[in-house]
Amino acid sequence: MNRISFNFRDTTTVITGGSSGIGLASAELIAKSGGDVIVSASRVPSKTIIALEKIRAASLESGRQGALIEALPYEADDEVSVQEFFQKVKAFGKRVDFLIHSPGISPDTPYSEQDAKLWNKVLSVNTTGTHLAAKYMRGIMREQEIVDEVRGKIVLITSTNGVDSYGIFSAAYDASKAATNNMVRNFGEDFHKEDDIVINGLAPGWINTELNNTLPPEEREKEMAKIWSRRFAETNEMAVNAAALLTLPYVSGRVHMADGGYRS
In a domain? residue 6: no
Domain residues for the domain of 166 are 12-258
**Do 163 and 156 touch, CB atoms closer than 8 A?**
no
Range list of H helices, the chain:
21-32, 45-61, 79-91, 116-123, 129-141, 171-195, 217-224, 235-247
Count of structural domains within the chain: 1
CA 118 to chain centroid, in Å, comes to 22
Q: What does pTM read for this prediction?
A: 0.95
pLDDT at residue 216, rounded to an integer: 76
**Do 53 and 21 touch, CB atoms closer than 8 A?**
no
CA 2 to chain centroid, in Å, comes to 22
pLDDT at residue 1, rounded to an integer: 55
The neighbouring-strand residues paired with 207 are 233
Tell me the CB-side half-sphere exposure of residue 70, using CA atoms within 13 A. Answer: 17
pLDDT at residue 171, rounded to an integer: 93
In a domain? residue 127: yes
pLDDT at residue 213, rounded to an integer: 76
pLDDT at residue 218, rounded to an integer: 84
pLDDT at residue 23, rounded to an integer: 97
What is residue 72's three-state secondary structure? strand
The neighbouring-strand residues paired with 153 are 98, 198
pLDDT at residue 2, rounded to an integer: 60
CATH of the domain at 18: 3.40.50.720
Tell me the CB-side half-sphere exposure of residue 125, using CA atoms within 13 A. Answer: 17
In a domain? residue 103: yes
In a domain? residue 264: no
Q: What is the mean pLDDT of each run of 10 residues along the chain (264 residues)?
A: 85 97 97 98 96 98 95 98 98 98 90 95 98 98 98 97 84 95 97 98 92 78 91 96 97 97 83
3-state DSSP percent of the chain in helix, strand and coil, to 5? 50, 15, 35
In a domain? residue 7: no
In a domain? residue 263: no
In a domain? residue 37: yes
In a domain? residue 63: yes
